[in-house]
Chains A and B, each alone.
Chain A
Amino acid sequence: MKKYTYTEKKDTRSGFGDGLTELGRTNPNVVALCADLVGSLKMADFIKENPERFFQIGIAEANMMGIAAGMTIGGKIPFTGTFANFSTGRVYDQIRQSIAYSNKNVKICASHAGVTLGEDGATHQILEDIGLMKMLPGMTVINPCDYNQTKAATIAIADFDGPVYLRFGRPKVPIFMPEGEFVIGKGIQLTEGTDVTIVATGHLVWESLQAAEQLEAEGISVDVINIHTIKPLDEEIILKSVAKTGCIVTAEEHNKLGGLGESVARTLALNTPTPQEFVATDDTFGESGTPDQLMAKYGLDAAAVIKAVKKVISRK
């Protein structure tokens, strides 16, 4: 099995910030908007280099989404930045009418998604955002897994015409993906195995790789797929894998209702019903704690993936 290692940890939000800075240098139509969270979204370098293309909106997310929609009229490519909670639930109707239904080329960039936001607690830890966004017709939903992939995704979505929800997080996590190209909607085969498929997104990709190594040592051969794009879903890579393994675990830092797992389950139900287990939060809110504590308590770590794998194999 292919082994993944890392020498450095970095937050995915820094990947966003550095990607945005690069876009500032290469794409004159890119503009950035922020609702009073410049530091958290790592937007300082873009702002320093392109002050005229940065719009500080203040604590007014609904207005930010509307302004972003309006700026596309005139050819701008707006990147909005705030926490995932305030990027989705707080402004759902604005996104629905002014961005998605109006098909505006807005990039909704959402940091601090999920429980790994940590100590601020459940008010800020949205676990429903993937569901909210994937239900909107025409919305592309992307949840990259590490610094490199987030940076590449940030750059890639500028060249894609249409509304995009880009979800990333707060904590420092291993950098294990190569730098470079990001193809929207194309899953990445990380390991080749025959006993079980693990389809993971975001922070759960690294946890799944850790799980796969331990399972390999126990003689269980694992196919790990990095699904950075939840919508449109790369059904081909998933169906190809389960044709080989006959069972699947989905893993995400999100409610089991409405997330990647349900999208995969739908694909399987329509094509090839397959035993599936869900590593996801169990229809609950989060709470205060460190990211590691919360990932363990809410069943979002390598141990939870291993448990799900053993269960799903027993169901084959």
Chain B
Amino acid sequence: MPTTQQLQDFTQQVRRDILRMVHKVSSGHPGGSLGCAEFFTCLYQEVMDYSTDFTMDGKNEDLFFLSNGHISPVYYSVLAHSGFFPVEELNTFRLIDSRLQGHPTTHEGLEGIRIASGSLGQGMSVALGAAEAKKLNGDDKLIYSLHGDGELQEGQNWEAIMYASAKKVDNLIATIDLNGKQIDGATDDVLPMGSIKAKFEAFGWDVIEVKEGNDIDAILAGLAEAKSLTGKGKPVCILLETMMGNGVDFMMHTHAWHGKAPSDEQLENALAQNPTTLGDY
């Protein structure tokens, strides 16, 4: 088991990768990626049981689905440092002929990716399907998924949320990245959604709130509690309160860095704030 410090160091490396990847191509989505760096680190470095000898079916493995595909930088960095593909490949992010497309896809055969995402609102349905297939296969491993909070404005999510409880899909832990921001501003300004907790509960889910969604120990505790609730007839949701742009002071407390890359000077500043490296690509 890695220590909290080791997971924090890993997270800092992931932050460095995110910043350098989007800086190099002057495009991509650093804000949400940075906000979920700790979550991805916890999932792939501690919580999930998986093989890096990648198979699409992933039988007898925990599987993860990213629905808000635009935070691909954090996904790619964590997959690479977890051993799915060479870390050097991060250098090809968003470039022509790369397997690291702007949004994640199976199309170029990148290990670790099982579905394309980017067009929002589709990932929970896919996760449900994978969960149902695991039940049919007598496979007791779990399905994890991540969704943006703004993404919940897509109606398909509510079809899926309704299905999950109605059909007792209790091998799914769906996490909502509750950062309160979307492209055009605060979610409360763009389309206020009221209490997401009350909505999931009204739809029959068990809901766990992680108020410190950028704290490794809090995330691990939330995921452990979620796991303890699986297999009891209800789907499980984690409301993960994160800070968009976490770890880079000028990217925090704003939605401005949702889909914007840092300049040379900004990159230098941001990297100086995250000096720990396990070996940059």
C-beta contact mask, A62-106 vs B, less than 8 Å → 1, else 0? 111111111111111010000000000000011011100111100
Are A74 and B159 interface neighbours, CB within 8 A? no
A52 within 8 A of B: yes
A215 within 8 A of B: no
Are B114 and A101 interface neighbours, CB within 8 A? no
Knowing A70-B132, A71-B130, say if A98 contacts B125 (CB, 8 Å): yes
Are A74 and B118 interface neighbours, CB within 8 A? no
B48 within 8 A of A: no
Query: How many residues of A are counted as interface, with CB atoms below 8 angstroms from the partner's CB atoms?
Result: 32
Specify the chain B residue showing the minimal Cβ separation from A104: B115
Kindly state the separation between the CA atoms of A303 and B119 in the bound complex, as whole angstroms.
46
Are A66 and B116 interface neighbours, CB within 8 A? no
Knowing A31-B136, A53-B136, say if A63 contacts B115 (CB, 8 Å): no
Kindly state the separation between the CA atoms of A192 and B116 in the bound complex, as whole angstroms.
47
Kindly state the separation between the CA atoms of A75 and B59 in the bound complex, as whole angstroms.
9
Kindly state the separation between the CA atoms of A154 and B217 in the bound complex, as whole angstroms.
52
B264 within 8 A of A: no
B56 within 8 A of A: yes
Are A52 and B136 interface neighbours, CB within 8 A? yes
C-beta contact mask, A49-66 vs B, less than 8 Å → 1, else 0? 000110101101011111
Could you list 26 examples of A-B contacts with CB < 8 Å? A52-B136, A58-B162, A62-B159, A63-B125, A63-B156, A64-B125, A66-B124, A66-B125, A67-B132, A69-B115, A70-B131, A71-B129, A71-B133, A73-B114, A73-B130, A73-B133, A74-B59, A74-B134, A78-B129, A93-B122, A97-B117, A98-B126, A101-B105, A102-B105, A102-B107, A103-B107
Which one of A67, A74, A97 contacts B136 once the chains associate, using CB atoms below 8 Å?
A: A74
Contacts of A101 in B (CB 8 A): 105-107, 116
Query: Which size bracket describes the interface of B in this complex?
Result: 35 or more
For the complex of A and B, 9 pairs with smallest distance between CB atoms = A70-B129, A66-B125, A74-B133, A63-B159, A60-B159, A67-B129, A70-B126, A71-B129, A70-B130
Interface centre among A67, A69, A73, A104 (most CB of B within 10 A): A73
Are A73 and B56 interface neighbours, CB within 8 A? yes
Which one of A31, A64, A70, A76 contacts B115 once the chains associate, using CB atoms below 8 Å?
A: A70
Are B137 and A75 interface neighbours, CB within 8 A? yes
B142 within 8 A of A: no
Are B125 and A67 interface neighbours, CB within 8 A? yes
Kindly state the separation between the CA atoms of A60 and B121 in the bound complex, as whole angstroms.
13
Are A98 and B115 interface neighbours, CB within 8 A? yes
Specify the chain A residue showing the minimal Cβ separation from B131: A70
Kindly state the separation between the CA atoms of A76 and B56 in the bound complex, as whole angstroms.
12
Are A60 and B162 interface neighbours, CB within 8 A? yes
Contacts of B125 in A (CB 8 A): 62-67, 69-70, 94, 98
**Smallest Cβ distance from B188 to chain A, in angstroms?**
26
Are B139 and A74 interface neighbours, CB within 8 A? yes
Within 30-48 of A, Cβ neighbours of B (below 8 Å) are at 31
Specify the chain A residue showing the minimal Cβ separation from B129: A70
**Smallest Cβ distance from A215 to chain B, in angstroms?**
48
Which one of B56, B58, B156 contacts A66 once the chains associate, using CB atoms below 8 Å?
A: B156
Are A74 and B115 interface neighbours, CB within 8 A? no
Are B57 and A97 interface neighbours, CB within 8 A? no
Specify the chain B residue showing the minimal Cβ separation from A29: B136
Within 47-77 of B, Cβ neighbours of A (below 8 Å) are at 56-59, 63, 65
Contacts of A94 in B (CB 8 A): 122, 125, 156
C-beta contact mask, B133-163 vs A, less than 8 Å → 1, else 0? 1101101000000000000000110011011
B210 within 8 A of A: no
Are A68 and B106 interface neighbours, CB within 8 A? no
Kindly state the separation between the CA atoms of A78 and B125 in the bound complex, as whole angstroms.
14
Which one of B63, B114, B116, B128 contacts A97 once the chains associate, using CB atoms below 8 Å?
A: B116
Knowing A70-B127, A101-B105, A101-B107, say if A75 contacts B160 (CB, 8 Å): no
Are A102 and B163 interface neighbours, CB within 8 A? no
Contacts of A71 in B (CB 8 A): 129-130, 132-133
Which one of B65, B122, B163 contacts A58 once the chains associate, using CB atoms below 8 Å?
A: B163
Specify the chain A residue showing the minimal Cβ separation from B130: A70
Kindly state the separation between the CA atoms of A226 and B17 in the bound complex, as whole angstroms.
56
Specify the chain B residue showing the minimal Cβ separation from A53: B136
Are B137 and A67 interface neighbours, CB within 8 A? no
Contacts of B137 in A (CB 8 A): 74-75
